[in-house]
Amino acid sequence: MKNIRLSALQDNGRTVVCVGHVKVGDGLCIVAGPCSVETEKQTIETAQAVREGGADILRGGAFKPRTSPYAFQGLGLKGLKILKKAREETGLPFVTEVIDTRDVPWVAEYADVLQIGARNMQNFSLLKEVGKTQKPILLKRGMNSTIEEWLNCAEYILDGGNPDVILCERGIRTFETYTRNTLDISAVPALKELTHLPVIIDPSHASGRVSLIPSLSLAAIASGADGVMVEVHVNPSEAVCDKDQALTPAQFSAMAGKMRSLHKFVEYSL
């Protein structure tokens, strides 16, 4: 790949993306929260739970790209205001998805990190638009995208003038049906040799099964990932979307402890 900026080294050769006081790419970063912002109560309770459980950044969707036009499409501005309030209550910065070029400027005023979702990875107009903002971008891999295509999308953002890109592997589409997608764990070491950008993984969308998430999160850390992003809901069975992959606060807390412990071991004792 002949990209210009992806091969440009920074600092010690790797990019560290600052999200408030959190340094993504330096130590372990845990992102957690609900799939969708449903209500103020649900969002703030979940935010408090994940902060107590050990999260560094809150996640939550206000604009939901849904397969069907008749499914819940998100609360929009109202959702962003709830996320802002959750940040005030917990001190956690938050990441939220943006899906329309016209929304980028004002969503960027609310959010700490803008997410480009898997379905929009090759929405080049959107990539150019977020490249103009000053906010870090969490770029999810398209479910059918090669690593090379993904890095070219990161390049769109970097080329636009925004150096703060976090790559997020969230599973690719294969023939296997036991899992929702297939987590491409090899992408972690592959990206470590192809780019200086931080890499996190999303085992919730990759597997679609609560029971597999802890093992996959530990695998990601052992493979060298800079972080993990998971879905947590105070009451998974009542979640508006993705209820089969949402952890309870207790499950999240137990898992986060193991992740911190494993990360420390890998970093200092291996």
Q: Confirm if 43 and 34 have CB atoms less than 8 A apart.
A: yes
Q: For 247, which DSSP code?
A: B
Based on CB atoms, which residue is closest to a second copy, 21 or 193? 193
17: nearest Cα among 139, 195, 137 = 137
Distance CA 263, CA 267 (A): 6
Shortest Å, Cβ 45 to a second copy = 29
What does each C-alpha distance from 255 to 3, 108, 173, 249, 252 come to in angstroms?
Answer: 37, 31, 26, 10, 5
Distances (CA, A) of 106 to 109, 111, 268: 5, 9, 42
Question: Which SS3 state, helix, strand or coil, does residue 188 take?
Answer: helix
For a second copy, the closer CB: 22 or 191: 191
Q: Is 268 in the site for a second copy (CB under 8 A)?
A: no
152 binds a second copy (CB under 8 A): yes
- Kindly tell me which residue out of 185, 230, 232, 239 binds a second copy, with binding defined by CB under 8 A: 185
**Binding segment for a second copy among 13-21, 28-36, 217-225, 242-250 (CB under 8 A)?**
217-225
Binding mask 75-114 for a second copy (x = CB under 8 A): ------------------------xxxx------------
Q: Scan residues 25-54 and list those touching a second copy (CB under 8 A).
A: none
69 binds a second copy (CB under 8 A): yes
Q: Which of 40, 81, 85, 190 binds a second copy (CB under 8 A)?
A: 190
Within 8 A by CB and 6+ apart from 69, the residues are none
Least distance to a second copy, CB of residue 181, Å:
9
Q: Does 3 bind a second copy (CB under 8 A)?
A: yes
| Cβ 80 to a second copy shortest distance, Å | 16
Nearer to a second copy, 86 or 199 (CB): 199
| Unique residue bearing structure tokens 């986060």 | 256
Alpha carbons 55 and 206: distance in angstroms, whole number = 20
Token pair listed for 113: 């990190």
Interacting residue with a second copy among 11, 52, 109, 149 (CB under 8 A): 149
Q: Are 135 and 114 in contact, with CB atoms under 8 Å apart?
A: yes
Is 266 near a second copy (CB under 8 A)?
Answer: yes
Binding mask 191-210 for a second copy (x = CB under 8 A): -xx------------xx---
Buried b (16+ CB within 10 A) or exposed e, 39-70: ebebbbbbbbbbbebbbbbbbbbbbbeeeeee
Q: Which is nearer to a second copy, 48 or 73 (CB)?
A: 73
Q: Which residues bind a second copy (CB under 8 A)?
A: 3-4, 65-70, 99-102, 119-120, 122-126, 142-144, 146-149, 152, 155-156, 159, 172-179, 182-186, 188-190, 192-193, 206-207, 211-212, 215-216, 218-224, 258, 261-262, 265-266, 269-270
